[in-house]
Structure 1
C-alpha cells in the first residue's frame, strides 16, 4: 500500500554524521561547508553546551556576557537550559522529516565518561590537527574570552571545566577506541592540513566513505553567517563569540585556504609546549590512520 512506503527522509534514507574534534581545527568552517548539502540539518556543539552551560553541566562556564548582543533572529538559537545530555541525544535521534543529511559537530572531551549518551545510527568523523597549530590558537581564544593577557594564565593549569584533562586529544583517542570496540564501523579520521591542502580530494573521499554523492559546488560557499543562522546552537556560544570571535573566521569564510607551515617551537610558551608534547603521541597515532586520497 502507498501509505506504508517509507518517505525519502526516513532514517534509513538519511546520512547522519558526527564530527568530533578539538578547538581550533577548522571544524566550524567544515561544518559551514557541509551545511550546503541539500536538505541538511546542523547541530553545533550541543554536547559541549551540555558540558558547559546545560542544567546538568559538570563544568565551569565562561564569563557571562551581554545577552542583548546575541543574534536573536537566528532560528536555531536555543536557550542554554535545554542542553542536557539526555535532550541532546534525543534531538540527534529525532526523525528530522524532510532532511537528507543530519550533521553534528562537537568536541570529544564533552562526552568523556558519558558514552551512553552518544546518538545511535550515526557515522563518526574525527577531525585532527597538529598540536603545534592547535594550542597557540586555543590559548589566544581564552585570552580574548577571559580578558586576561597571555602571560597571566597557563593553558594546562586552567580548571578542568575550561580545559580538558586529556587536552582534547586523549578524549578523541578514547572515543575512537570505544567506537571500534562497540560499533560495526571504522571511524573516519581527517587531518585538517590534508583538507586544506586538497579539499576536493579529501571531501570526495569523505563523501565516498559516508555513501553520499560529492558535488564540486561545496568547494566554495557564500561569505557571512546566513547559513549558520539555521544551525541548532546554544545561545551562550554566540554570546561568547561576540567577545572572543571564536567563529568569526569560519563564518566569514568562502572556501578552504592553504595550510600554513608548522610554527617554530622556540617562541612558544612553556605551557603550550607541555600541551604539545603530551598530545603529540595521540596525534601521531591518529594521523597514521587518517583518510587519504
Structure 2
C-alpha cells in the first residue's frame, strides 16, 4: 500500500518495549509484530539449543508462499527461520495503514542482509544501570521456575552459552546496527528513544515519534486495558504468546499495567560495586555504547 507506514523498533531487553507495542496497538488499521527474529533464534529450526514444547493455538493459516495470514497470533515457531522472518516482515498487509514490528537487536546477530525493506527504524535504549539488574532478575526467575536454585551471588548473566550472544554485547550490537542503518542509508533519520524519557514524558515522546515517521498521534496511545487480549491481534509465536499470558515476570510489567509508569527520579547512578560481579561487567562494558547512543536520542 502506497500510504502504508512501516516501523521497526529495535530494543535492548528490559526497556519496556513490549509495553510500547501494547500502547501502539490502539493505532487504527495497524498490525503489531512481536519478535520474529527472537523466535527464530530461540525456537525456530536454526536455534542453537533445544527448545521446550510449545502450546497449540487454533486458527493459524499460511498462504501459498508459507507466510502467515491474518495476525497469526500463536503460530508455531517451526516455520520461523531468519530468512522467513524477512519475507514475513516484507509481506503485503492488506487493509493495514501502519505495520509496527518489535525486535531485540542482540538476537539479530548482525544479519544485516536480512534487514527488511520498507521500514523506518527506531532504537529503544535505557541506562545499563537499570537494564542489567532487571535482566538478571528476569533470568533468575526463569531459571528458578525451571527448578534451578539461584543465589544472588551466582553469575546468571555469565551463564549464557558461548554460542549465543552474551548480554554484555547487547549495547554493542544495537550500536553497530544503528550505525549500519545510518551509514548505508537504510533510514536517513533513525530515531533513538531512551525508555526513561518515554516513561517520564510519554505524550511528548510518542507524539514526536509519530510525527517523524508519519503516524497520526492520539492520546489513546497513553493508556490501555490490563490483560493480554490485545495479543490476539498481534503476529506472535505460540512460545512468546504463552510467556506473555502465563509467566510471572510478565505479570507486573505487561499484563497488569494500564499506562506508562513514571520512573523514580535518580540524581546519579548507583555505586557499581553494589552490584554482583556479572552485572558490574555488563554495565562497565556497555556504558561507552550507551552514552554514544544517548547523545543522539530524541529529546
TM above 0.5, yes or no, is yes
| Partner residue, 1:237 | 240
Mapping of residues 161-200 of structure 1, within 5 Å: 163-164=165-166, 166-183=168-185, 184-200=187-203
Mapping of residues 1-293 of structure 1, within 5 Å: 10=1, 12-57=2-47, 59-60=48-49, 64=52, 67=54, 76-147=73-144, 148=148, 149=150, 150-160=152-162, 163-164=165-166, 166-183=168-185, 184-241=187-244, 242-246=246-250, 248-262=252-266, 264-265=270-271, 266-292=273-299
Distance 1:106 1:61 in 2: 21
The 3-state SS of whatever aligns with 2:169 is: coil
Q: What TM-score do the two structures reach when normalised by structure 2?
A: 0.86
Aligned residues: 278
The CA RMSD measured in Å over matched residues stands at: 2.2
The alpha carbon displacement at 1:139 in A equals 0.8
Higher mean alpha-carbon deviation, 43-52 vs 263-272, is at 263-272
Unmatched 5+ stretches in structure 2: 60-70
Higher mean alpha-carbon deviation, 39-48 vs 229-238, is at 229-238
The alpha carbon displacement at 1:51 in A equals 1.2
Contact (CA 8 Å) 1:60, 1:162: kept in 2 or not?
A: no
Distance 1:82 1:248 in 2: 31
Contact (CA 8 Å) 1:141, 1:244: kept in 2 or not?
A: no
Unmatched 5+ stretches in structure 1: 1-9
| Partner residue, 1:5 | none
The alpha carbon displacement at 1:50 in A equals 0.8
